[in-house]
Structure 1
Amino acid sequence: MTEQAWTAPFEETLRRYLTLLPPGTPISEDLSLATYGVDSLATVSLLLDLEEAFDVTFPDHLLTESTFATPAGLWAVIDSLLVHDSAR
């Protein structure tokens, strides 16, 4: 894919944690978050910021390394939580 389906608030939040990504560099769907600065401590902070920004709660079973591996994987989880919440 050439265009991300995620929202601007997602990208803005994520970009704050990609400390090794040069400014202005596009965030690709398969970018390795760990390679660009998201270590274990940053993952916890990112999780909390995303939960607050999107008013969602990540269930324990989604707190996995694969969830936080790439922007596409992380957005897919958030998107599924948003869809689930709106179905209530």
Structure 2
Amino acid sequence: MKTTIRNILGEVARLDVPLATLADNDDLYAAGLSSLATVHVMLALENAFDIEIPDQMLTRQLFRSVDSLAAAVETIRRQQEAA
């Protein structure tokens, strides 16, 4: 899952630093993630994982790191499977 998230970030996030230099818990905003890029990341995640990110989860914290994105995707998938 984190590989897919990293691929998405590499395609749409336009970070200021090479993605390969970032650890999974590094701050993506400090690496140059913009608010516009978060929208592109959100749409790409929803498409790649066949999920819908609920409005209440759309916070700055969600997009903070690869780890936070992976945790959110996993939570949403579990919730959708349980429904």
Which of 20, 44, 53 aligns to 2:16? It is: 20
Runs of at least 4 residues off by over 3 Å: none
Equivalent residues in 2 for 1:1-88, closer than 5 Å:
6-16=1-11, 17-22=13-18, 25-88=20-83
Q: Deviations over 1:44-67 (max 9, x none)?
A: 111111111111111111001111
The answer to whether the 8 Å contact 1:18/1:36 transfers is: no
**CA distance, structure 1, for counterparts of residue 21 and residue 75 of structure 2:** 24
Higher helix share: 2
For the aligned residue pairs, the C-alpha RMSD in angstroms reads 1.7
TM-score, normalising length from structure 2? Answer: 0.83
Find the residue that maps to 1:19 and give its secondary structure.
coil
Structure 1 residues 28-37 or 54-63, which shifts more?
28-37
The share of aligned pairs that are identical, in percent, is 28
Q: How many residues align?
A: 82
Q: Which structure 1 segments of 5+ residues have no match?
A: 1-5
TM-score, normalising length from structure 1? Answer: 0.79
Q: Which structure 2 segments of 5+ residues have no match?
A: none
